[in-house]
Amino acid sequence: MAKLFQPTQAGDIALKNHIVMAPLTRNRSPGAIPNDMNVEYYRQRATAGLIITEATAITHQGQGYANVPGLYSKEALDGWKRVTDAVHAEGGKIVVQMWHVGRISHTALQPNGGKPVSSTNRIAKAKTYLVNADGTGGFTDTSEPRALETSEIPGIVEDYRKAARAAIDAGFDGVEIHGANGYLLDQFMRDGVNDRTDEYGGPIENRARLTFEVVEAVTREIGARRTAIRISPVTPSGESYDSNPQAIFTHVVEGLARYDLAYIHVVEGQTGGERDYRQGDNPSFDYKALRAAYEKAGGKAAWMVNNGYNRDMALEAVETGAADLVAFGKPFIANPDLVERLEKNLPLNTPDQSTFYGGTAKGYIDYPLLEKVA
């Protein structure tokens, strides 16, 4: 049996294979509360070595899209407990991706219609997803944010800590801190977004400060070996940019090496796009050098890769040691039994892109399993 399909370990989380279901926003949790459909969706995909949930807001302020789940109400946590119980009953493992969107939001989604918060007060040329009064949904421009006051930042760190504790209490096997794709932590890390002049802006060390404070708080609360983080060094999502991504993200992974984390989740290239994507005049990002820097600094977490991996690429990455875990996104949308299809090298269902965001069971929990394929 190929190594990809054999058991492995990510920190304290024992996995039955090296295949990971990537976080996938689906906008099917009205009121930020996981429901029966969500329970079934994740249950169906429990053969993955690890499921990473769709991005889940740590607070109401952290919300950026309509009908995405949260970790900040009793009803939401009760809903997530049903999800984790269902996944565990099928022998699966599941972690929650903890999300604060920062400026990628809209006043309609914020407490009391307030401005979204960020490292900056500059609006992102980006879109968010809202639901209209008639129940239809669509994408709209994000709202103007406000820069967080320095005095507010400890409260943000505390929000992450509380959310991590709530996640473990709801039965999750661990948490993944969302530090990627142009959301709040990424907005602090990148100099193309962060224009602050306090201790959270300017030099690389300052721009990475919030990420390290969050990691410190979360690992203290639930343990490092149940904590992970996702980064996307060059993806332009949320109009994010850095003049020297190799430098900032090398500093970040060297700092993360201080913690005995479960895994580091690295998006290679442009999320959902070019794997060799480069920003502006920057040279191609060197992911091998990034991992080497992490390991040289003493890091031992599992190394998870993501973005456009197919069966052959995944087999090679794990067999050669280039990666410990491989995350699949869109293939898991249309193939609840993706692991079996990959192992047997069988054809994959094609995802219906029109049902990706919002909607009903169609394109969510009705894709055929192998035994039901004619």
Tokens of 295: 């390991």
Tokens of 71: 């970790």
pLDDT higher than threshold 70 for residue 374: no
Cα distances from 284 to residues 246, 250, 293, 356, in angstroms, run 9, 14, 17, 31
- CA nearest neighbour of 237 among 19, 23, 29, 42: 23
pLDDT higher than threshold 80 for residue 272: yes
Binning pLDDT at 50, 70 and 90, where does residue 372 land? low
Cβ proximity of 22 and 309 under 8 Å: no
Tokens of 147: 């820069």
In this prediction, residue 134 carries a pLDDT of 76
Q: Is residue 139 part of a domain?
A: yes
DSSP alpha helices (H): ranges in 69-208? Answer: 74-89, 153-169, 184-189, 204-207
User: Cα(86)–Cα(372) distance, rounded to whole angstroms?
Assistant: 22
For range 43-47, the mean pLDDT: 98
Residue 156: which CATH number? Answer: 3.20.20.70
pLDDT higher than threshold 80 for residue 171: yes
Task: Quote the number of domains for the chain.
Answer: 1
Active-site hit among 183, 200, 287, 367 = 183
pLDDT higher than threshold 70 for residue 27: yes
Q: Which domain holds residue 319?
A: 7-330
pLDDT in tens, 310-353: 999 999 999 999 999 999 999 999 999 999 999 999 999 999 99
Q: Is residue 313 part of a domain?
A: yes
pLDDT in tens, 90-113: 999 999 999 999 999 999 999 999
In this prediction, residue 279 carries a pLDDT of 83
pLDDT in tens, 197-253: 999 999 999 999 999 999 999 999 999 999 999 999 999 999 999 999 999 999 999
Q: Can you name the residues that pair with 328 across neighbouring β-strands?
A: 21
- Does the active-site annotation cover 183? yes
Q: Is residue 114 part of a domain?
A: yes
pLDDT higher than threshold 90 for residue 149: yes
Q: Is residue 362 part of a domain?
A: no
- CA nearest neighbour of 51 among 315, 369, 336, 348: 336
For range 42-58, the mean pLDDT: 98
Task: Give the DSSP letter of residue 46.
Answer: T
Full DSSP string of 89-124: HTT--EEEEEE--TTSS-GGGSGGGPPPEES-SSPP
Q: Is residue 81 part of a domain?
A: yes
For range 133-160, the mean pLDDT: 93
Least confident of 33-37, 129-133, 146-150, 190-194: 129-133
Report strand pairing: 127-131 vs 13-15.
unpaired
pLDDT higher than threshold 60 for residue 373: no
Least confident of 39-53, 123-137, 142-156, 247-261: 123-137
Q: Is residue 264 part of a domain?
A: yes
Q: Is residue 361 part of a domain?
A: no
**Mean pLDDT score of the chain:** 96
- CA nearest neighbour of 96 among 5, 169, 154, 158: 169
Q: Is residue 235 part of a domain?
A: yes
Binning pLDDT at 50, 70 and 90, where does residue 273 land? confident
